[in-house]
Amino acid sequence: MLACCARGAILVLALWAGPAIADDLADFNAAVENVSAHNRVAIGYLRTGNLDLASLEIDRLREAWRQLAARFAGKPPYAFEGNAFYGSLWTVTDARWVGIELTQKMGQPEAVVKSLNGLRADLYALRKASGVVVLADCVRDANAIMDAFMAYNDRALDWTKPEVRSDVAGKASSYGKILERCDGIAGDTTRKNPEFRRLVDGAKASLGFIPQAIASRDADLLHRVLIELRSFDNLLAFRFG
């Protein structure tokens, strides 16, 4: 009888705690995405020289971070329990704000961008350490693959080397696979977003020309495809990374 009651109590607790834990992580991810959205826009403005608009966006970013920290700094979602990156995230970011304010006043947009990208890297490391998967991290992984692929943006490419042809094909395949993964990770709303579809489907279409470039040993075609892919990749990072 006691054992039966105990099992029943455990079941009730599991049913009650399970959704709460899931919602906690979902709420954290949503709050972080709000931070990341402002971060992306601020970086975009800084890179195009719109410093006044960048300053406004950084103020919004700081407020979004304040709200995130107020709720989660002292109470990590269950998924991050025991994650060493979690505690340091808040102290490191506090220091980043000081650096960002200083470099803004000194008129050093490149340094501000570096700090904002540092925040993105910290969030990436935090989630990776706990196996938490979000679209922004997949896009970041896609950017890394694209960076490596751009090494072949060379009109003097030696197509006679089989390892060159093989590696071009391999990197195209890797990039296609990461795009598929990102497409799968994206939520229904994002997946149906016309801009997301244009970027992902456009990149997939561009990849379709890689076998032709390899077969014809056409470095000019490969160059055009890589430039197009880089454009799609940059826009994915700006909007969803």
pLDDT tens digit sequence for 209-218 = 999 999 999 9
> Does pLDDT of 19 surpass 60?
no
Q: What is the CATH number of the domain that holds 82?
A: 1.20.120
Say if residue 71 is in the same domain as residue 109. Answer: yes
Residue in the structure block whose two tokens are 């490419």: 157
Instruction: Identify whether 7 is part of a domain.
Output: no
Instruction: Report pLDDT digits (tens) over 132-146.
Output: 999 999 999 999 999
57 Cβ contact partners less than 8 Å away, ≥ 6 residues apart? 38, 41, 42, 45
In order of 114, 147, 199, the CA distances from 237 in angstroms are: 15, 12, 10
For the chain, what is the radius of gyration of the CA atoms? 22
Q: Give residue 169's domain range.
A: 135-240
Query: Where does a domain end: 99, 130, 161?
Result: 130
Say if residue 66 is in the same domain as residue 84. Answer: yes
Instruction: Identify whether 1 is part of a domain.
Output: no
Say if residue 111 is in the same domain as residue 142. Answer: no
Quick check: 116 and 160 in contact, CB under 8 A? no
pTM for this entry: 0.81
> Does pLDDT of 41 surpass 50?
yes
- Looking at residue 45, its pLDDT comes to 93
- Looking at residue 205, its pLDDT comes to 96
Say if residue 201 is in the same domain as residue 165. Answer: yes
Say if residue 142 is in the same domain as residue 46. Answer: no
Quick check: 227 and 153 in contact, CB under 8 A? yes
Instruction: Identify whether 3 is part of a domain.
Output: no
Residue in the structure block whose two tokens are 């105990």: 6
Q: Which two tokens stand for residue 26?
A: 């979902």
